[in-house]
Chains A and B, each alone.
Chain A
Amino acid sequence: EVQLVQSGAEVKKPGESLKISCKGSGYTFTSYWIGWVRQMPGNGLEWMGIIYPGDSNARYSPSFEGQVTISADRSISTAYLQWSSLKASDTAIYYCARARDSSGYWHLSFYYWGQGTLVTVSS
């Protein structure tokens, strides 16, 4: 059974750093793109970026480029989303999602999702 299990909720102060995780199981972790999605309180879904764990090739939406870092450790089948200096506006639920197919880079859809990680940034 394919599963994506995300790390638990975090409460941080502005300026702190954070790294949240998404552990894949039940499939070949290195063969499928993983994306990250933000959902701010009461708002819709925002696409942040994507990574191919096979070679750690990461791409970012312009809105998030330079604001976060997406990485992966294939030895433990885990993808990461990290911030070096959190802002209050980073308060949101963050989802990881795995591509439906391993057929390539283009035109992906996302079938398997993590349960979400709530990040709260408040002084």
Chain B
Amino acid sequence: DIQMTQSPSSLSASVGDRVTITCRASQSISTYLNWYQQKPGKAPNLLIYTASSLQSGVPSRFSGSGSGTDFTLTISSLQPEDFATYYCQQSYNTPLYSFGQGTKLEIK
């Protein structure tokens, strides 16, 4: 199984800050990495697929990068609606699409 490890597990930041969340895979997954945002009581929302492709309708302040084992999700300027939990998911090992443990982004 491919293990996905996110860091940090939680993060406090202010509106307007630039934030980076990291996801590391236990083996190379090429660029088969998705990012989701989940707000309390809601289903996850796809932000980024294949590491760097922005899902239609997602604000351009979100971006993804990386390949192999190391990936990042960057929010260029935090907005109030961005405070949520973020999950990475590998889609390399079809159909065992494991998630990272999540990163909770909180208001400072």
Q: Which of B46, B95, B102 contacts A44 (CB 8 A)?
A: B102
CB pair A45–B99 under 8 Å, yes or no, is: yes
Q: Which residues of A contact B97 (CB under 8 A)?
A: 35, 47, 50, 108
Give per-residue flags for A61-90: 1 if the beta carbon is below 8 A from chain B beta carbons, else 0: 110000000000000000000000000000
Q: Which of A62, A97, A107 contacts B96 (CB 8 A)?
A: A62
Q: Which of B38, B45, B91 contacts A108 (CB 8 A)?
A: B91
Q: Which residues of B contact A45 (CB under 8 A)?
A: 36, 38, 44, 87, 89, 99, 102
How far is B97's CA from A97's CA once the two chains are assembled, in angstroms?
Answer: 12
Given known contacts A44-B87, A45-B87, A107-B32, is B43 in contact with A115 (CB within 8 Å)? yes
Q: Which residues of B contact A100 (CB under 8 A)?
A: 46, 49, 55
Top 7 nearest A-B pairs (CB, nearest first) are A113-B43, A109-B49, A59-B95, A44-B102, A109-B34, A45-B99, A107-B91
Q: Which residues of A contact B34 (CB under 8 A)?
A: 109-110
Q: Which residues of A contact B81 (CB under 8 A)?
A: none
CB pair A47–B89 under 8 Å, yes or no, is: yes
How far is B53's CA from A10's CA once the two chains are assembled, in angstroms?
Answer: 37
Asked if B101 is an interface residue, CB under 8 A from chain A, the answer is yes
Show the binding face of B for A, using Cβ within 8 Å.
1, 32, 34, 36, 38, 43-46, 49-50, 55, 85, 87, 89, 91-92, 94-102
Count of CB-CB pairs between chains A and B under 8 Å: 67
Q: Which residues of B contact A106 (CB under 8 A)?
A: 94
Asked if A49 is an interface residue, CB under 8 A from chain B, the answer is yes
Given known contacts A62-B1, A107-B94, A108-B91, is B43 in contact with A47 (CB within 8 Å)? no
Q: Which residues of B contact A55 (CB under 8 A)?
A: none
Q: Which of B46, B50, B101 contacts A107 (CB 8 A)?
A: B50
CB pair B46–A109 under 8 Å, yes or no, is: yes
Q: Which residues of B contact A95 (CB under 8 A)?
A: 43-44
Known: A45-B102, A108-B91. 13 other contacts (CB 8 A): A44-B99, A45-B36, A45-B99, A47-B97, A47-B99, A62-B96, A97-B43, A105-B94, A107-B91, A109-B91, A113-B44, A113-B45, A115-B43
